[in-house]
Amino acid sequence: MSLAQALPIALLGALLGLDVVSFPQAMISRPIVAATLAGAFIGYPQAGLLIGVVLELIALDTLPFGASRYPEWGSAGVVGGALFAAQPPGMPGALPASLLAALLTASVSGWSMVTLRRIIAGRLERTRDSIEAGSRDALFSLHLSGMTMDMLRAGLVTMVGMIIFSPLVRAIVAIWGSESAPSRAVVVVIAAIVAGGALWKVFHSIRRVVWLFLAGLLASTILLAMT
Amino acid sequence: MTAPPAPGFSLPFRVKLAMYVRLFALQGSWNYETLLGTGVGFVMEPALRYLPGGVDGPEYRAALARESRYFNAHPYLAGVAVGALTRAELDGVDPVRIERFRTALAGPLGSVGDRLVWASWLPFCSLVALCVYGAGGSPVQVVGTFLLLYNVGHFLLRAWALRIGLSRGLNVASALGNPVLRQGPHYIGSAAAVVAGLALPLALQRVVGPGRVLAGGIIIAALLGILLLARLHERAEGWRIALGVLAIFVLYSVLT
């Protein structure tokens, strides 16, 4: 993928990456949204949605509590959605390879967020006297530059992710040795385990939670049996 | 020098609107030194212009500096503190009392918000979207449902927080006893458990693809994995395990 091809995807990644922490935290950066939008950019929103759903299930494990460090799903969703949507339909390795690329991007992007927040702290240290003197200009400069840098960070991560993973995923898909059904099954099992473990972690203290879950499970089983 | 605003002075609507819009950018300069602090100063700034002397006055500068120091809260509920502190500054409350109030309010606003939003509302909305997907929803329907549902709660919570803070000032602590904040996580969590039972099999079935079924092997492997992960609890990060297992599987599939 050339720079020119990666640029529109990087712009989308920049906007969605900004949403994670800086502005407006409307959850347009959730993978179910980000990957679908990226898939739509490539021309296949259905493919983007499919990988977005898998990423969303995995992302349930990393809710952004307090000042905790977590993977950044905005850029990762864009990279995963764009990569998967760009593969020819029906290729068994497309989903696992694109998913792996998205998870690696999420990890690197999470690290880049921590680095950025340290850079902002460094800038704050240099302008502390002005801000302590009540300078509006110093405060605005710090705040707006923080947002601008965050957007650039997310855009850069997305662009680098696309440039590295685009040929890599294509190559992996071309030499993929596993059958289609087990390839999909491994992804489903991984997503189910992570989502189930995450939901248990969050909701286990709720009274009668197992019974409530089983009630939903019964309803879905009936629905699946009917179709 | 202009006179200080009269106690109980109500800010013009456009100023409240400016503060509300800025609340969405509250974390623009989030950092490991002051956390939300500089963001709080940024959001309060339009209101502080009403202090005696305006933007050139010593009161404005002192208040802006004071409000830009260390602060932590959940970003959606930080409006409670922003509103209350704005009220206190405009009413000329003693800075020492304002400082004590900032310290006291930070903890509860963080924990209440985390429980209500990150640990309840967000996963609930995700699960509803997954349910729509499992039921055969189109990309627009799935994404639209998620964004609409989530942001109704998000936008309303931010608006409520700012309004309650501005109206109650330093007496805002009682607002944290609001039934939505206290009981909300329990009810949303209960609903999320039902939706999870409904959404997971439907969504996973659609990911598996048409013409295939969630075979016994997949279900047993998933249940065993969930049990193991639940036992490990806080000691294991599921997404990291997913990354490792997936990397091994991709490597295996490429080499065979």
Closest partner residue to B246 (CB to CB) among A100, A143, A197 is A100
Average pLDDT over chain A reads 95
Q: Which of B33, B64, B154, B207 to mutate to test the interface with A (most CBs of A within 10 A)?
A: B207
C-alpha closest to that of A155 among A13, A23, A6, A7: A13
Task: List chain B domain ranges.
Answer: 13-214, 216-256
> Mapped to the 3 state alphabet, what secondary structure does B115-151 carry?
HHHHHHHHHHHHHHHHHHHHCCCCHHHHHHHHHHHHH
Task: List chain A domain ranges.
Answer: 3-226
- Asked if residue B142 lies in contact with residue A39, where contact means CB atoms within 8 angstroms, the answer is no
The arithmetic mean of pLDDT across residues A24-41, rounded, is: 98
Taken as a whole, chain B contains a residue count of 256
Minimal CA separation from B195 to chain A, in Å: 6
Residues of B in contact with A193 (CB under 8 A): 221-222, 225-226, 228-229, 238, 241-242
Structural element, H or E, at residue A84: helix A73-86
Structural element, H or E, at residue A131: helix A94-132
Q: How many CB pairs under 8 A join A and B?
A: 326
For residue B214, pLDDT over 70 is answered with: no
Bridge partners, B118 (sequence order): none
Which tens digit of pLDDT belongs to each residue from B98-154?
Answer: 999 999 988 889 999 999 999 999 999 999 999 999 999 999 999 999 999 999 999
What tokens does B54 get? Answer: 């305006």
C-alpha closest to that of A48 among A7, A84, A75: A84
Instruction: Give the end-to-end CA distance of chain B in Å, rounded to a whole number.
Output: 81
Residues of A in contact with B136 (CB under 8 A): none
What tokens does A137 get? Answer: 């200009």
What tokens does B157 get? Answer: 């919570």
**Per-window interface: B 189-228 vs A, CB < 8 A:** 189-190, 192-209, 212, 214-215, 217-218, 221-223, 225-226, 228
For residue B93, pLDDT over 80 is answered with: yes
For residue B1, pLDDT over 50 is answered with: no
Tell me, what DSSP letter sits at residue B54?
Answer: G
Which tens digit of pLDDT belongs to each residue from B132-148?
Answer: 999 999 999 999 999 99
- Asked if residue A29 lies in contact with residue A88, where contact means CB atoms within 8 angstroms, the answer is no
Average pLDDT over chain B reads 93
What tokens does A43 get? Answer: 């021309």
What tokens does B250 get? Answer: 């991709």
- Asked if residue B81 lies in contact with residue B73, where contact means CB atoms within 8 angstroms, the answer is yes
Closest partner residue to A124 (CB to CB) among B38, B65, B76 is B38
- pLDDT at res. A2: 77
- pLDDT at res. B232: 79
Q: Which of A21, A53, A187 to mutate to test the interface with B (most CBs of B within 10 A)?
A: A53
CA A164, A165, A167 angle in degrees (round to 5)?
Answer: 85
Write down the residue that tokens 């295939």 correspond to: B212
